[in-house]
Each structure stands twice: as structure tokens, then as C-alpha cells.
A = this chain, B = another copy of it.
Amino acid sequence: IVNTGDDFEHLGLQISPDLDTVCYMLAGIHNPETGWGRADETFQSFDQLELLGGPTWFRLGDRDLATHLERTRRLQAGDTLSQVTADFCQAWGIAPTVLPMSNHSIPTIVLTDQGELAFQEYFVHQQCRPAVTGFRFEGIQQASPAPGVIEAIIEADCVVICPSNPWVSIDPILHLPGILQSLEGKSVVGVSPIIGGQALKGPAAKMYTELGISPSAIAVADHYGDLLAGFVLDDVDKNLTKPLTMKCLITDTIMKEESDRLRLGEEVLSFAREL
């Protein structure tokens, strides 16, 4: 279940950055260096766009462009993001079910000392420089989870909150009407994206600091609070400065290679099933 709060329209295209990053990764066609976009990518189109004076701050490779072109076409033709995502996953040979959190537009607005910023304006264009004072998920109260989302949670033996940004990648999902209720009584395990007080990538630690919270695995555990039956921290955080109320798995949570991802995935699932 993937955040769509980062989705935005750019150059007339409907772009779903988190969905694409997750799918490219699962399909093995992701770019491991950048953390976004595709492997073996070319930028002929954007080189020409630059010549024409167009906005190139949100880089789209030639292959990646096809994803946005076809998504845009199908959404304009009346298909839902769920349908498009399912078909793309099939075309890319992705076995696991990947669901957008919602078919409604729920743009994440970042409240900053520079005023309210659309997420990609904050994240990519301004490179997370403005200081964050809060977040708003526009229209979330009128939105609903995409088909299959609540069903998948109800069916699941356990639910893993992956080590993504709690504020802007996980909270949009959790705040959707019906999600917290469906998680009640579930074996929910969170994996900390903060390791040794820092985020491996992205602005999570910076956000915690700007919001007046010391960035730490404990802060992440507190963020999710009673929702969690278990929490997974990195070895470097094993000396907790405060006791946690949920059960903990302390392990190596840094995923550099495919093998790291498989090992951590298996460890987290075993831990969750034992809870």
C-alpha cells in the first residue's frame, strides 16, 4: 500500500513518484544510484526541454516518461490509478500486489517558514531547504482508500510499516478514513527509518528537528504509538535512552543490496508473526 500524497501534475503529466519508485524497485528496473527513476536511463527529452527553457528541476528520463504518458492517458480516459497500477505491475512482471493508497487526489502540503508548499516544490525544487512547521493532506477527509486496501489489511496476518518517512510517506496512508480502524487488533510492526539519529535518505530527521522533536528511533516509535505491536530498530540504536512499550527487534536494518532486503524482510515477518 503506497503513498500517493506526493502525486502531482507536471508538464501535463500525472506523476506518482512513490508508486513508481516502489514498482521500479520490485521490477528490478530501478536506478540504485539515484533512488528514483530507472536503470539504464537516457535523458534525450529533458536535454531538449532544457534547450527550450522548460522546467528541468523534476528530472524525467526517456523510459520513465512512458510511465507518466500512459498513466496520464488512461486516467484521462477514465481509468482509476488502481487499474493503471495493476496493469503496469503486470507489464513489468511484478508478482506482489502493489496498491495506491487511494484513487482520490490527496496532495500533501508542507507547511514551512516560506509558507505552504506543494510537496514536490518543497522536496525536489527547493530540496527540503524551508523549515517545516507541519503538514496538511488536502481533501483526505473526503477521500477513501483505493479498492483492495482495507481488504488487504483485514486479510493480512501482519502489517509492516516500512522504514519510510513517517510524516509524509506513512501518515498520509494512516490518516485515510478507515485505515486505523482496519488496523485495530492487527499485528502491526514499524521499522525505524531513523538510524543513529539520521535518516539514510530524505528529510525525515530534518523534519523531526524542525518540529521540535529530537530525531531518533524512539521518536519514530512514539510517532506511531499504540498502533504498533512491535518495532524494529537498527543495531546502532540498541542502547535505548527510554523504554518502549512495544516489543522490539534489534537488527541490521540498513539495506544496501538485494540480499539485505531479503534478510531484513524475512526477519521482520518472523518477528511480526511471533507477536
Q: What's the minimum C-beta distance from A142 to chain B, rounded to whole angstroms?
A: 25
Instruction: Decide yes or no: A45 and B73 within 8 Å by CB, A12-B13, A88-B52 being known contacts.
Output: no
Q: Determine if A69 and B54 form an interchain contact, defined as CB atoms under 8 angstroms apart.
A: yes
Residue on B nearest A61 in the bound complex, by CB: B44
Q: Determine if A69 and B49 form an interchain contact, defined as CB atoms under 8 angstroms apart.
A: yes
Q: For A52, give its contact among B51, B52, B91 (CB under 8 Å).
A: B91
Q: For A51, give its contact among B13, B44, B69, B91 (CB under 8 Å).
A: B91
Q: What's the minimum C-beta distance from A94 to chain B, rounded to whole angstroms?
A: 13
Q: Give the docked Cα–Cα distance between A53 and B88 (Å).
A: 9
Q: What's the minimum C-beta distance from A82 to chain B, rounded to whole angstroms?
A: 16
Q: Give the docked Cα–Cα distance between A49 and B88 (Å).
A: 10
Q: Determine if A70 and B88 form an interchain contact, defined as CB atoms under 8 angstroms apart.
A: no
Q: For A70, give its contact among B44, B47, B49 (CB under 8 Å).
A: B49
Chain B residues positioned under 8 Å from A239 (CB to CB): none
Q: Give the docked Cα–Cα distance between A61 and B91 (Å).
A: 21
Q: What's the minimum C-beta distance from A45 to chain B, rounded to whole angstroms?
A: 5
Chain B residues positioned under 8 Å from A14 (CB to CB): 12
Given contacts A44-B61, A52-B87, 10 further A-B contacts (CB under 8 A): A11-B69, A12-B14, A44-B62, A48-B65, A48-B66, A51-B66, A52-B91, A53-B87, A54-B70, A62-B65
